[in-house]
């Protein structure tokens, strides 16, 4: 599948928007990045938060006292868990049954997917690619708690169930979005990996994280999708670069100096034909979004590219194997600032690409 997609610094978005209308959000995406549209998460709706959106379908989910958790001590837990793994086995062997299963997004949580499918159905020519996203297994398993308030990552059985749940959801997305016949990209969104190595995740090992990531990546590959991993801050980038992902999305605006420290791994990653998604357009601070221009971002990106060139990677290779993205989603911004981020991403991509397509 890598051979069928040529990024060539095309613009690619992360997922969230500060809107409350899914069809309108889908139209906005087509206005700015029609070459690689994606389904949009609207965090104004509680069911589209990173954890709640993917929680339905997990075993023993309980809502009580304003909290949602997994009750691993309840009388029905063993039966719920058995039912979950039975469903997993059946659908893993016959993934055509994914639509309508517990592993698919529901009508309430999947409105962004439905809006994108409607948009894709109206296109006369297919886009270059289509993008979806799942909450990453580390972020999900440290965000979901059991009845005692303990993250389910520390319960090996529940962690295994969660990883398999996310993996099959990714496969469902690929099948749902494959109608136009173009490559499907699924990003694994892992903001929690910014805490790897800190006191917050001190008891979680590198090996445990890799096993979780690789299972989701393998599931994406099983249905012919391209797997990306998005981390919106700093992390142990060797872990991400060695995860088997096809695309690594990093915050090039704020953390490139940390990312480039992993030179040998970056060189191996690009030499293998994989792709970097440069989050060069700021999203965190309104003053940065307002201050930066296409020209200033272009100058910064050129300086960063020269540092990757110094690793022994040809400039043409870097350009061919790169996407241009915002540093993170824009769901927490004002709509005006979000639109500015989208415009900067689109226009920076165009400026980078223009000299090579003018000939």
pLDDT tens per residue across span 20-29: 999 999 999 9
- Average pLDDT, integer, range 180-188: 97
Q: For residue 2, what pLDDT is reported?
A: 56
Query: Residue 156 falls within a domain, yes or no?
Result: yes
Query: Residue 2 falls within a domain, yes or no?
Result: no
Q: Radius of gyration (Cα) for the chain, nearest Å?
A: 20
- Average pLDDT, integer, range 309-325: 98
- Average pLDDT, integer, range 106-131: 97
% of the chain residues with pLDDT over 90: 93
| 279-289 b/e (C-beta count within 10 Å ≥ 16 → b) | bbbbbbeeeeb
Residue 1 in this model has a pLDDT that exceeds 60: no
pLDDT tens per residue across span 214-270: 999 999 999 999 999 999 999 999 999 999 999 999 999 999 999 999 999 999 999
With beta carbons less than 8 A apart as the criterion, state whether 326 and 281 touch. Answer: yes
Q: Count how many Cα atoms sit within 13 Å of the Cα of residue 47 in the half-sphere of its side chain.
A: 10
Query: Residue 119 falls within a domain, yes or no?
Result: yes
Q: CA-CA distance, 77 to 48, in Å (whole number)?
A: 26
Residue 273: CB atoms within 10 A of its CB come to: 12
β-pairing, 226-230 vs 61-64, is: unpaired
Query: Residue 179 falls within a domain, yes or no?
Result: yes
pLDDT tens per residue across span 119-168: 999 999 999 999 999 999 999 999 999 999 999 999 999 999 999 999 99
Residue 181: CB atoms within 10 A of its CB come to: 7
Q: Specify the CATH number for the domain of residue 348.
A: 3.20.20
β-pairing, 184-189 vs 226-230, is: parallel
Q: CA-CA distance, 269 to 318, in Å (whole number)?
A: 11
β-pairing, 247-250 vs 226-230, is: parallel
- Average pLDDT, integer, range 336-348: 99
Query: Residue 64 falls within a domain, yes or no?
Result: yes
% of the chain residues with pLDDT over 70: 97
Q: For residue 65, what pLDDT is reported?
A: 87
C-alpha of 16 from chain center: 11
Query: Residue 1 falls within a domain, yes or no?
Result: no
- Closest by CA position to 59, among listed 82, 37, 41, 43: 82
The two tokens of residue 218 are 């393998």
Q: Which domain holds residue 44?
A: 7-357
306 φψ region: left (φ > 0), alpha (ψ -120 to 50), beta (else): alpha
Cα pseudo-dihedral 129, 133, 137, 142, rounded to 10: 150
Give the number of domains in the chain: 1
Residue 197 in this model has a pLDDT that exceeds 80: no
Work out the angle at residue 243's Cα, subtended by the Cα atoms of residues 239 and 246, and round it to the nearest 5 degrees. Answer: 125
Instruction: Round the average pLDDT of the chain to a whole number and report it.
Output: 96
Q: Count how many Cα atoms sit within 13 Å of the Cα of residue 180 in the half-sphere of its side chain.
A: 24
Query: Residue 174 falls within a domain, yes or no?
Result: yes
Residue 359 in this model has a pLDDT that exceeds 50: no
| 313-351 b/e (C-beta count within 10 Å ≥ 16 → b) | beeeebbbbbbbbbbbbbbebeeebbbbbbebbbbbbeb
Q: For residue 196, what pLDDT is reported?
A: 79
Interhelix angle 22-32/335-357, nearest 10 degrees = 30
Query: Residue 123 falls within a domain, yes or no?
Result: yes
């Amino acid at each position: 599948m890598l051979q069928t997609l040529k990024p060539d610094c095309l613009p690619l978005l992360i997922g969230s928007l500060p809107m409350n209308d899914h069809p309108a959000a889908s139209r906005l995406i087509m206005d700015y990045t029609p070459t690689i549209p994606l389904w949009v998460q609207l965090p104004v709706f509680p069911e589209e938060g990173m954890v709640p959106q993917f929680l339905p379908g997990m075993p023993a989910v309980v809502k009580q006292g304003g909290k949602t958790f997994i009750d691993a001590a309840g009388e029905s837990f063993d039966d719920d868990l058995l039912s979950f793994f039975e469903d997993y086995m059946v659908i893993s062997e016959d993934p055509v049954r994914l639509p309508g299963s517990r592993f698919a997004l529901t009508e309430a949580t999947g409105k962004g997917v439905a809006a994108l499918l409607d948009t894709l159905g109206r296109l006369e020519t297919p886009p270059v690619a289509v993008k979806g996203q799942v909450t990453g297994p580390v972020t999900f398993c440290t965000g979901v708690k059991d009845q005692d308030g303990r993250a389910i990552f520390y319960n090996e059985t529940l962690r295994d169930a969660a990883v398999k749940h996310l993996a099959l959801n990714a496969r469902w997305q690929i099948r749902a979005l494959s109608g136009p016949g173009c490559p499907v990209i699924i990003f694994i969104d892992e903001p929690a990996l910014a805490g790897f190595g800190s006191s917050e995740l001190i008891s979680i090992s590198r090996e445990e994280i890799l096993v979780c990531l690789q299972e989701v990546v393998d599931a994406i590959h099983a249905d012919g999708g391209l797997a990306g991993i998005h981390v919106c801050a700093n992390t142990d980038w060797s872990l991400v670069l060695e995860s088997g992902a096809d695309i690594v999305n990093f915050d090039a605006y704020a953390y490139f100096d940390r990312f480039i420290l992993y030179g040998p791994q970056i060189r191996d990653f690009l030499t293998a034909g994989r792709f970097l998604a440069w989050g060069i357009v700021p999203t965190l601070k309104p003053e940065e979004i307002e201050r930066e221009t296409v020209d200033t971002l272009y100058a910064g990106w050129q300086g960063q590219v020269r540092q990757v060139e110094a690793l022994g990677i040809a400039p043409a290779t870097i350009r061919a194997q790169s996407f241009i993205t915002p540093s993170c989603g824009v769901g927490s911004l004002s709509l005006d600032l979000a639109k500015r981020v989208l415009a900067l991403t689109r226009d920076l991509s165009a400026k980078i690409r223009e000299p090579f397509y003018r000939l």
